[in-house]
Amino acid sequence: MADLSSPPLSTPANDEVNPVGFRERFKRWIGIKPALTLHQRIAAQLRIRGGSKGEMSTEERHMLMNVLNFGELRVDDVMVPRADIIAVDVKSSLEEIMTECRKSSHSRMPVFRDTLDEPVGMVHIKDMLAWIGQEPHAEPFSLAKMSREVLFVPPSMPALDLLLKMQSSRRHLALVIDEYGGTDGLVSIEDLIEPIVGEIEDEHDVKEGPALKRRSDGNVNADARAHIEELEEMLGMKLRDNTEEDEIETLGGLVFSLVGRVPQRGELIAHPVGIEFEVKDADPRRIKQLVVHLPLKNEPSKLSELKSLVNAKSTTQKPSQYVKSDKVKADTSGDM
């Protein structure tokens, strides 16, 4: 039943300016729920009719759901972080660039001057192969002259907008620039397509193991880039308990937040829930590999140890108090 004592839904001036808004507020006031959007109706039908015979397969439904969710992604959701960017200096020789291409299996790489915060453009392996085939060369190799333009985008840009921009500009590599003008990450067209179709691996990609792997002793080997939610699901415990920590996505970021710096290899970092992170591999800039040490089932917690110690101390003190009390009574009766 609607509350007739509620304040006015709108003012006459607002009703004239936005009659659609008035109708929606009136519907809510009398208890009519707003209609589902086309996006919500399609998603609901995909979930409801998933098991029906003659309908689309699980893979098709999964891909369609990915398409629907793609509109919610931003560039910083799909980008390669700065620490993982493979790039070449503008002063690099042809041999050095070809060596980097073989090691990384990348056909496109950003070109920078001195640091990643001074990007020059990008180099494509096809351009280098074309230069090699043009013998004799009129002038020496110059990466600066060979570099192509690269897109510069903010991290908050919708991923769909970047995909459309790459299609229209025919540039398949973008550098993500933060508010201070520094390089924050990198996005290729493959990074934008994978959220829809899944991981794309070619014949040059090296098969990577799982980000989290349970060991025989019960502990967990972890890639520092693994998402915190994966470990929380594996352990059945929450590892973030405040707003600041909720913004952290990876295990490496969580460990960094616990100590406020990049820890050295071999360091043990304790987490308030009782687990410990051992740094197996790291460099001065980032954490690479971790071992998550879990408390043994038969190992008492620090709180349990403290309670046991207090109880034991109380138990040993009580008999002596009773004996002393009895002795006082006996001496008193003797004087009588």
Domain ranges for the chain, please list them.
Answer: 12-70, 75-197, 212-293
Q: Please say whether the beta carbons of 318 and 311 come within 8 A.
A: no
The per-residue pLDDT for range 91-110, each reduced to its tens digit, is: 988 889 999 988 888 889 99
Identify the weakest region by mean pLDDT among 72-86, 147-161, 200-214, 242-256. 200-214
Residues 6+ apart with CB under 8 A from 271: 239, 258, 277
Q: Please say whether the beta carbons of 277 and 259 come within 8 A.
A: no
Q: Tell me the average pLDDT across 258-262.
A: 88
User: ∠ CA(222), CA(155), CA(230), 5° rounding?
Assistant: 20
CA distance 101 to 42: 43
pTM of the model: 0.56
Could you tell me the pLDDT band of residue 33, with boundaries at 50, 70 and 90? low
Whole-number pLDDT of residue 48: 58
Closest Cα to residue 189, out of 151, 141, 144, 243?
151
Identify the weakest region by mean pLDDT among 9-18, 184-193, 323-332. 323-332
- Highest average pLDDT, of 30-39, 110-119, 130-139, 303-312, comes from 110-119
Torsion of CA 157, 158, 160, 164, to 10 degrees: -30
Whole-number pLDDT of residue 61: 73
Q: Give the side-chain half-sphere CA count within 13 A for 133.
A: 6
CATH of 75-197, one of 3.10.580.10, 3.30.930.10, 3.30.365.10, 3.60.70.12: 3.10.580.10
CA distance 142 to 93: 8
Q: Please say whether the beta carbons of 215 and 221 come within 8 A.
A: yes
Q: Report which of residues 64 and 91 the model is more confident about.
A: 91
Identify the weakest region by mean pLDDT among 31-40, 61-70, 250-259, 309-318. 309-318
Spell out the CATH class of 212-293: alpha beta
Q: Which two tokens stand for residue 313?
A: 């101390």
Identify the weakest region by mean pLDDT among 14-18, 115-119, 130-134, 176-180. 14-18
Strand partners, 284: none
The per-residue pLDDT for range 120-176, each reduced to its tens digit, is: 999 998 888 888 888 777 788 888 888 999 999 999 999 999 999 999 999 999 999
